[in-house]
A and B are shown apart, each in its own frame.
Chain A
C-alpha cells in the first residue's frame, strides 16, 4: 500500500472519517454520512458545503462571465442540493459528482439564455514579484491556453474543466457527464491532445 498518513500501525485516510487501530480500520465515507445527516441537520449540510464549495465555484467560474455570476450559480447549486438531499443515493462518484451534476444543470439553464461563455481571457497572472515582462509573457500563455480550451468541442471542454477546475477523477467526470470511465478517458485524451496541438501552434 502506498504510504499515507498513519497512526502508529497503519490505516488510510482520504475523504473519509477513519477509525484506525491495529489490524482494524473502519473507514466511513464522510461525504455519504454527512449527506444522510444533512437531510435534517443544517450543521451537516454546512460541513458538506464547506468541503465542496471551491470545486463547485471553480467549475462554475469557468462557465460564467464574472465572479458574481459564478458565486450566484454556486449558491443556486447548493440551494438545489439542499432541496434534493433526501433523494441523494451514494454512488460511485460520491457527493462531489452529484453536486457537480447539479452545478452543470444550473449552468446549462443559464447558458440556454446567454449562449456559450468563453473562458475569461482577461485573467491576469496572480503571481506577485514577477517582472512586468514575465507577467506579460505568462498572461499571453494563459490567453493562448484559454483559447485552445475554448476551441474544443463542448463535451471535451466540459471534461477538461471538470478535471482541472473541479479536480474530479475520470470516474466522477463520467458520472457527471453520463459516460463510462473508458469513454471519459478517451474524451479527455482527445481533448488534451487537441489543446497540446493548438497551444503549441499559438504559443
Chain B
C-alpha cells in the first residue's frame, strides 16, 4: 500500500491563522526549559514516591502501561532490550512473545537529516519476518512531538516480501518510537539456512505540532508529516524453524457461498489460513474461530477481509506440525455493499486436514 505524501500539508488555512499561530507559538529558552524540567521531575519523584491508596489497574491495561514504561526506562539506557517491545504483538501475543524471545540483535542503523532508523532486532522463520525498528530524532526538533516508522520494503533473491503481517508503533517520549512490522515471504515455507535481506525504509512519519488542529472534526486534518529517507540496510538472518503447508481443499456452503480451505501454513509462531470464497452476491466476508490439533487450540486473532479470498491468522504455532488438524469456523460475517447490513451466521464449520510427519 502506498502512503501518500503529506509533507506539504498545513492546516493554517488563512493568513490570519498563520499570523496568530506565529504570534502565539512561543518557544521557551533552553535554560528555562531545563529549569522547568528539573523542577517538575523533582516534584514527580518526591510526590509519587509516597503514593496514596490507588486503585489497581486492570491487568491488561497494566500490562500495556508497564510495557510502555519499561520501554521508556530501557531506551534511556542500552537499546535492544526485549522489554522495549513488550505488548506490541498486535493481537498475536503468543506468537510475538516467541518471536521476541528468539529474535536476534541486528543493530543496523542509518541517519538521514538527523533522523536515525535502527533495525534493532529481527526474527525470521519459514513463514514470516519480524523487524523491530527504533526511530529517533537525534536533533530533538521542538516541532516534533512523535515519530513512527511502520513501513519497509523487503526484498531477497525471490523478490519483494509482502505485507499482511501488519505493523505497530509506540512512542517513547517525544523523539523516539519503537516499531514492529511483519513481512511474509514471496513463497512460503522458506527452506532452512540463512537469508540475505535488503531492507529499505523509504520514509518515516513525524507528528508536527506546528500543524494546527482543526476547530471541528475534520477528516482532512493530518498532523503527520512524511520525512523521506531512504534508510537502507542489508542483513543476513538464519531461518529459525521452518513451516509446513497443507492444502485441505475442504468446502462448506455458508449462506449460499462456497468457502474452501485453500491453504494452511503452520509456522513456529503463527498459523496462517487462506480461504477461497465463491459468493454469487459478491459480499465481503470475515470469519472467526480457531485452528486445533488435539487439545491444542490456536485462536484466530487477525482477519484480512476479502470478497473472494480471506486470510486468517491464528496466534501461536508449533515446531513440529505433523498430525491431524482442524480449522473450526464458529461464525461467519457477511458484509454487503452500500447500506446493506452486516449479517452474522453461526457455525460451526469444520475443515479437517493432515500434515504428514
Q: Which positions in A face B, CB cutoff 8 Å?
A: 1-11, 13-15, 17-24, 26, 28, 30, 33-34, 36-47, 49-51, 53-54, 57-58, 61-62, 67-68, 70-71, 74-75, 78-79, 82-83, 86, 119, 123, 126, 141-142, 145-146, 149, 160-161, 163-165, 167-170, 181, 185, 188, 192, 195-196, 199
Contact = CB atoms under 8 A, between A and B. Distances in A.
**A interface secondary structure, majority:** helix
6 contacts: A3-B6, A4-B222, A8-B167, A53-B40, A123-B23, A145-B20
A175 B53 CA distance: 28
Contact of B215 (A58, A75, A185): A185
A157 B162 CA distance: 53
Interface stretch (B244-252, B254-262, B298-306): B298-306
A57 B28 contact: yes
Given A7-B150, A61-B26, A1 B219 contact: yes
Interface in B148-181: 148, 150-151, 162-171, 173-174, 181
A36 B25 contact: no
Contacts of B78: none
Contacts of A188: 215
Contact of B169 (A18, A50, A62): A18
A197 to B, nearest CB: 11
Contact of B167 (A20, A33, A145, A170): A20
Given A19-B91, A23-B286, A47 B173 contact: yes
Given A10-B1, A22-B303, A43 B286 contact: no
Contacts of A119: 23
Given A18-B170, A58-B26, 11 more contacts: A13-B148, A19-B88, A20-B90, A33-B65, A39-B48, A54-B142, A57-B28, A58-B24, A71-B32, A149-B23, A165-B26
A33 B16 contact: no
A169 B216 contact: yes
Interface stretch (B67-75, B188-196, B275-283): B67-75
Contact of B174 (A37, A51, A195): A51
Contacts of B220: 2
Interface of B: 1, 3-4, 6, 16-17, 19-29, 32-33, 35-36, 39-41, 43-45, 47-49, 51-52, 54, 57, 61, 64-66, 68-69, 72-73, 88-92, 142, 145-146, 148, 150-151, 162-171, 173-174, 181, 183, 205, 207, 209, 212-216, 219-224, 286, 301-305, 311, 313
A51 B145 contact: yes
A3 B205 CA distance: 12
Contacts of B221: 2
Contacts of B142: 54
Contacts of B164: 8-9, 22
Contact of B52 (A7, A38, A86, A192): A86
Nearest to B58: A36
A17 B64 contact: yes
A30 B170 CA distance: 9
A128 to B, nearest CB: 14
B184 to A, nearest CB: 9
A8 B1 contact: yes
Contacts of A30: 68, 171
Nearest to A165: B24
B29 A7 contact: no
Q: Which 7 A-B pairs have the closest CB atoms?
A: A7-B167, A8-B163, A21-B166, A21-B90, A165-B24, A5-B205, A22-B304
Contacts of A83: 47
Count chain A CB atoms within 10 A of each CB in B88, B215, B224 and give the residue with the most.
B215
A7 B353 CA distance: 33
Given A9-B164, A22-B313, A169-B214, A78 B43 contact: yes
A150 to B, nearest CB: 11
Nearest to A17: B170
B16 A196 contact: yes
Contacts of A4: 222, 224
A165 B210 CA distance: 10
A146 B20 CA distance: 9
A82 B90 contact: no
A53 B171 CA distance: 16
Given A6-B151, A7-B151, A196-B16, A23 B48 contact: no
A74 B174 contact: no
Contacts of A79: 39-40, 43
B51 A8 contact: no
Contacts of A70: 26, 28
A169 B92 CA distance: 35
A22 B170 contact: no
